Structure 1
Amino acid sequence: MSLSRDTFGNRAKEQDELEKKLSSFEKYIQSTFAEFIGTALFTFVACLAVSSRDVLSIAFAEGLCIALLCAAFVNISGGHFNPALSFAAAICGAINPILAVLYFVAQTCGAMVGASFVKAVILGDSYHILKGGANQFRGLGVPYDPYDSFHHLNVTPVTAIVVEAILSCLIFTVYLQANIDKKSRSSMGPMAYGFALIVAIISGFHVSGGSFNPARSFGPAVPSGYWDQHYIYWAGPYVGALVSGVMYRLILGDGKKRLIMRD
């Protein structure tokens, strides 16, 4: 009788250990790999889309790609593919700080891999003309196309940071409410995330270059060597992430996540 109890106890203990290992694998390894591969695919699509030299084409390519990838991975990693968004999610309590750091490493490495594949398929002068698909600051009279005088906007890098911050806040707020919040999240959350990115790119492309994602900007900057005003694409999105995360944590979040009048 005691032998059978010991056997049952050992099996239960082994089952608990297996479940813990599986939980750790899914929480850290599987989710981090999902962010790596998702960011690599997104960056590849985003950088290739720049070859169209058309804002609508770029916006829809990036927005629809992020929506599809988010739909595929939202239940595995959250479907961020953006270190600034992961920062906002950490502020909200949706992911822990350790996971946010792992996501940051995975996303930046994934972006470099995706951008490197772009360099492999677009050769010679064509690659350098496109600057590898890197985001380009359009202000100070710098046009997207030298023949397009309409877009000679007189804006400064500070203005571009403000635009990146505001539009990043828009994207991240939509993501948090549509994908994390228990009251308002829905199966359309990934699509809402994608369309928010489309709106932001169309609005901000001719000012800042329309990044809203430090990894998407960092990835192509490495193989192309194009670092002009690169700080814009870190400062703006992280400010937007801070604002959206704090708003959610204090006021907009559900009863368990918000800090004011919580359940």
Structure 2
Amino acid sequence: MENNVTSKDEGKKNKKCNKSLLQRYREATYEEIFNKVLVPILCEFCATLLHTFYGSMISPPTSPIVHASINRTILPGENAADYVVSALMPALQAGFAVWMIIVVFIKITVIQFNPVMSFSFMLVGLLSPYMFIPYVIAQLFGSATGAWIAQSIKGDEPGPFRIAEGLNVGAVVGAEVMSTGVMVFFGLAMTFDKKYDQATGPMAIGFTIFQGILAGRWVGSSCFNPSRAFGPSLVIGDWKHHWVWWVGPGAGSLIFTIVYMTFFAPEGKAWGVRIPNKFLKEKRKEHPTEVTTMSNNHTSHPV
């Protein structure tokens, strides 16, 4: 009886999985489409807009700023040598912004606001492949909107990510791989494991950004999010070295996703167990006699 019920449930699941995207769209109610498609995409747009806006507003000026109230003019690059202003403040701003945004949207959707995070979530099954492209488009559009608003308010560049002349581009890519990878690892640990109950998870992800910016300070790495770099680049039309902010974070996301899913995923879901088990099952189907012989040889007999 139980086996019949199980087989029926599995049949329903397989039938549902075999349905095309168009079939599922036709069968879905407006409420389902609104809550499961439109709202998450809108959340990605709003989250990336906020992230880019705040980051762009704190960026150092590229033209002189006159403060009449204190009778002083701040020149571009004036605070470049000040560690607190040029490194610590941006790191704190980015870390707290990520923490704040995750907490704001965490009860609505599994917020990502980063194409490489969405890519990782798609690889492990937390994000439907059909939603990946809409998510990324919403993230890029949100970043461009946030950068444009910041530029309109500041009257200055919206904090584009640039690699200064003379810096080692390979070192920047390497730092992006490591820092983004750690961020993705934390994100998977918090969302993929259903038993995860640490309320400080969003804060931990925010502090990976904080640590990553400080760690990459001297090599010129501080992005970890392709959409965050896309908006300012689009607004000012500067695409030099833009590929770095896609290749480095993308590679880090892929590498650390594989590491997490192979060794650290919850019991029964780790690729390090599932893949060998799948291979052994297929081998048993192809060579049932060999498997039977092996099992008979290893059967324990009473003395």
TM-score (norm 1): 0.80
* Letter of the structure 2 residue corresponding to residue 46 of structure 1: G
Letter in 2 for 1:189: G
1:39–1:22 CA distance, 2 compared to 1 (3 A): same
* Match 2:37 to one of 23, 28, 40: 28
C-alpha contact 2:52 2:147 (8 A) present in aligned 1: yes
Amino acid across the alignment from 2:159:
G
Q: What pairs up with 1:45-56 in 2 under 5 angstroms?
A: 45-51=54-60, 53-56=85-88
Shift of 1:220: 0.4
- Determine helix, strand or coil for the equivalent of 1:40: helix
* Residue 134 (structure 1) aligned with residue 143 (structure 2): no
Would you say the 8 A contact 1:40–1:111 is kept in 2?
yes
Distance in 2 (alpha carbons) for counterparts of 1:156 and 1:79: 33
1:20, distance to aligned residue in structure 2 (A): 4.3
1:228 partnered with 2:240:
yes
Structure 1 residues 77-86 or 185-194, which shifts more? 185-194
1:72-221 to 2 correspondences below 5 Å: 72-123=104-155, 127=156, 131-138=157-164, 140=166, 155-221=167-233
* Structure 2 segments unaligned to the other structure (5+ residues): 1-25, 61-78, 80-84, 278-303
Structure 1 residue 185 displacement after superposition: 4.7
Q: Aligned in 2, Cα 1:139/1:181: closer, same or farther, shift over 3 Å? A: farther
Matches of 1:223 and 1:121 in 2, distance apart? Answer: 14
Q: Specify which structure has the bigger relative contact order, considering alpha-carbon pairs within 8 angstroms and separated by 6 or more residues.
A: 1
Which of the residues 32, 37, 40 maps onto 2:46?
Answer: 37
**Cα distance change of structure 1 residues 71 and 33 upon mapping to structure 2, 3 Å threshold:** same
**Matches of 2:146 and 2:220 in 1, distance apart?**
22
Measured against aligned partners, the alpha-carbon deviations of 1:88-112 in whole angstroms (never above 9, x if no partner) come to: 1111211111122111010000000
Give a deviation string over 1:185-240, Cα, whole Å, max 9, x none: 52221111111111101111332340000000011011122222111101000001
Q: Contact 1:139/1:157 (CA < 8 Å) preserved in 2?
A: no
Q: Give the TM-score, by structure 2 length.
A: 0.70
Q: Structure 1 stretches of 5 or more lacking a match?
A: 1-16, 141-154
Distance 1:165 1:228, change over 3 A: same
RMSD over equivalenced CA pairs, Å:
2.2
- Following TM superposition, where does structure 1 have runs of at least 4 consecutive aligned residues deviating by more than 4 angstroms? 17-20
% same residue:
26
The structure where helix makes up a greater share of residues is 1
